[in-house]
């Protein structure tokens, strides 16, 4: 059996057969889902708390008109109680006191008293209720003053809402459903995933190399195998672990997507959707505005848009950029770990390698807003940032020749990085004692084997 294969096998099985790998691989998607859904869930929990708001309506415009929400209940009080309620706010049953002045029609101002900052939910609800009622009253007054027949209906008819359906033109001139938001989401996720993978698995390579050096097993192994075999075996073995993890995630996500599709697109599910929408409308005025324009088949649209995305291309390019980017960084990380003796020294040498990675993440934030810009172009061609930035751009559509050039530059750089790393690794792995300087490491490149 080929030695590099034996080494790859050990690295692979050593990780994959660990319980921690399986648990982490299965839990991470759940964890992500949790991170996304937990705040929403917590928000609904919070909404169940009732806040009573005392209202003194000096304008007499709103008496009995203000609608309660799930979390906000209005309670009108007579003027005699005003001082009393105001002084004991917080310690009595009321959460806040809303003071509507007589001049509200002209000033558009009200005051809310409370002993602590009132929460956004309550404030939004008060805002929304007052705005709506006042607007309605003003309009009703205007309509009756002008005396134009059917004016109310005509005004209603002027309300306009635009839905932008984005169609991406393909080679054969056919329009494909696309969504900027979904492209952004996927680009962001793909870029970030590469960043995480490179950091996580590059870090594993680095710690593995240092472990081998520190435990001195390396001396035993390289009397059986060449140093470059040991280095590449470790790097490739861990890449296989990463790809296994990725594959499991793709299958899980695919399963979830298909599951979600069959759930949401069925009539029953739509019914449920509608119910949950109405709940949301009650609790959140912002959401209600959105939901009012949300046709019941919107979910089908999203599904169609997701299906319109070229997943084979994205996954294929992800694999190419992940593998090349990972090889580029992890070989340099392996070289660094081989050159030093301790973790502290390693962290010091790590800085020049981590800076481009972190820069890529900073650039990512910009590129996602403008995937066609100069910055996006250059960052997706420079090898140290291209694995991340190009992945962000791909869902928006990138010409094939740009992809080709970017991959070619990255592949060449990766080849160079491995060549340099192998030289440093070979010498460094057998050097113990003092920490080398950059200059010395440079000299190692010229050593013969």
Q: Which residues bind another protein (CB under 8 A)?
A: 1, 3, 6-7, 10, 14, 211-212, 214-217, 219-225, 227, 430, 432, 443, 447-449
* C-alpha–C-alpha distance, residues 189 and 182, integer Å: 10
Cα–Cα–Cα angle for 189, 191, 197, nearest 5°?
A: 95
Q: How far is the CB of 226 from another protein (least distance, A)?
A: 9
Is the Cβ of residue 125 or residue 423 nearer to another protein in the bound state? 423
Is the Cβ of residue 38 or residue 445 nearer to another protein in the bound state? 445
Give DSSP secondary structure letters for 269-288: HHHHHHHHHHHHHHH-HHHH
State which H helix or E strand residue 421 sits in: helix 400-428
Q: How far is the CB of 6 from another protein (least distance, A)?
A: 5
Q: How far is the CB of 187 from another protein (least distance, A)?
A: 38
Is the Cβ of residue 214 or residue 366 nearer to another protein in the bound state? 214
Rg of the chain on CA atoms, in Å? 31
Is the Cβ of residue 193 or residue 222 nearer to another protein in the bound state? 222
Picking from 444, 441, 377, the residue whose alpha carbon sits closest to that of residue 409 is 377
Give DSSP secondary structure letters for 302-337: HHHHHHHS-HHHHHHHHHHHHHHHHHHHHHHHHHHH
Q: Helices (H), strands (E): how many in the chain?
A: 18, 6
Cα 444 to chain center, whole Å? 42
420, 442 in Cβ contact below 8 A?
no
Hey, how many other C-beta atoms are within 10 angstroms of the C-beta on 210?
21
Is the Cβ of residue 37 or residue 432 nearer to another protein in the bound state? 432
Is the Cβ of residue 34 or residue 442 nearer to another protein in the bound state? 442
Q: How far is the CB of 437 from another protein (least distance, A)?
A: 13
Cα separations in angstroms, 10 against 13, 23, 230, 376: 5, 20, 11, 40
Residue 175 backbone dihedrals phi, psi, to 5 degrees: -85, 135
| Torsion, CA 230, CA 231, CA 234, CA 238, rounded to 10 | -160
* C-alpha–C-alpha distance, residues 3 and 12, integer Å: 14
Q: How far is the CB of 243 from another protein (least distance, A)?
A: 22
Hey, how many other C-beta atoms are within 10 angstroms of the C-beta on 425?
27
* C-alpha–C-alpha distance, residues 165 and 142, integer Å: 37
Q: How far is the CB of 241 from another protein (least distance, A)?
A: 16
Is the Cβ of residue 419 or residue 447 nearer to another protein in the bound state? 447
Is the Cβ of residue 380 or residue 427 nearer to another protein in the bound state? 427
Q: How far is the CB of 190 from another protein (least distance, A)?
A: 33
Q: How far is the CB of 414 from another protein (least distance, A)?
A: 27
Q: How far is the CB of 220 from another protein (least distance, A)?
A: 6
Q: How far is the CB of 224 from another protein (least distance, A)?
A: 4
Is the Cβ of residue 214 or residue 313 nearer to another protein in the bound state? 214
128, 283 in Cβ contact below 8 A?
no
Is the Cβ of residue 10 or residue 138 nearer to another protein in the bound state? 10
């Amino acid at each position: 059996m080929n030695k590099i294969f034996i080494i790859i096998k050990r690295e692979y099985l050593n990780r994959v057969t660990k319980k921690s790998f399986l648990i982490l691989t299965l839990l991470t998607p759940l964890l992500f889902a949790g991170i996304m859904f937990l705040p929403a869930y917590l928000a609904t929990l919070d909404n169940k708390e009732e806040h009573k708001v005392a209202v003194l309506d000096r304008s007499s415009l709103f008496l009995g008109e203000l609608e309660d929400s799930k979390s906000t209940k209005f309670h009108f009080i007579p003027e005699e109680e005003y001082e009393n309620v105001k002084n004991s706010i917080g310690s009595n049953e009321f959460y806040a006191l809303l003071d509507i002045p007589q001049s509200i029609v002209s000033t558009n101002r009200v005051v809310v008293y409370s002993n602590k900052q009132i929460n956004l939910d309550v404030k939004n609800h008060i805002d929304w209720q007052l705005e709506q009622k006042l607007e309605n009253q003003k309009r009703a007054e205007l309509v009756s003053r002008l005396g134009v027949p059917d004016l109310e209906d005509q005004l209603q008819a002027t309300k306009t809402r635009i839905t932008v359906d984005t169609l991406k033109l393909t080679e054969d001139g056919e329009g494909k459903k696309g969504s900027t938001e979904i492209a952004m989401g996927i680009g962001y996720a793909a870029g970030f995933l590469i960043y995480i993978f490179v950091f996580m698995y590059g870090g594993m390579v680095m710690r593995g190399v240092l472990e081998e050096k520190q435990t001195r097993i390396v001396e035993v192994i390289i009397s059986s195998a060449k140093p470059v075999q040991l280095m590449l075996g470790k790097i490739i073995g861990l890449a296989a672990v990463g790809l296994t993890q990725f594959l499991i995630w793709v299958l899980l996500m695919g399963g979830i997507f298909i599951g979600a599709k069959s759930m949401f697109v069925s009539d029953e599910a739509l019914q449920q959707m509608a119910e949950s929408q109405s709940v949301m409308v009650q609790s959140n005025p912002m959401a209600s505005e959105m939901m009012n324009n949300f046709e019941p088949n919107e979910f089908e649209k999203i599904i169609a848009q997701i299906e319109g995305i070229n997943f084979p291309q994205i996954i294929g390019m992800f694999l190419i950029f992940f593998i090349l980017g990972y090889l580029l960084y992890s070989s340099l990380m392996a070289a660094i770990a081989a050159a030093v003796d301790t973790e502290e020294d390693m962290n010091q040498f790590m800085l020049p390698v981590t800076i481009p990675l972190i820069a890529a993440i900073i650039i990512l934030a910009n590129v996602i807003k403008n995937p066609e810009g100069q910055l996006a172009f250059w960052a997706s061609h420079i090898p140290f940032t291209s694995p991340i930035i190009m992945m962000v751009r791909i869902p928006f559509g990138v010409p094939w020749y740009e992809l080709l050039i970017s991959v070619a530059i990255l592949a060449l750089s990766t080849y160079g990085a491995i060549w340099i790393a192998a030289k440093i690794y070979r010498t460094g792995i057998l050097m113990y004692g003092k920490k080398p300087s950059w200059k010395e490491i440079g000299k190692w490149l010229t050593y013969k084997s």
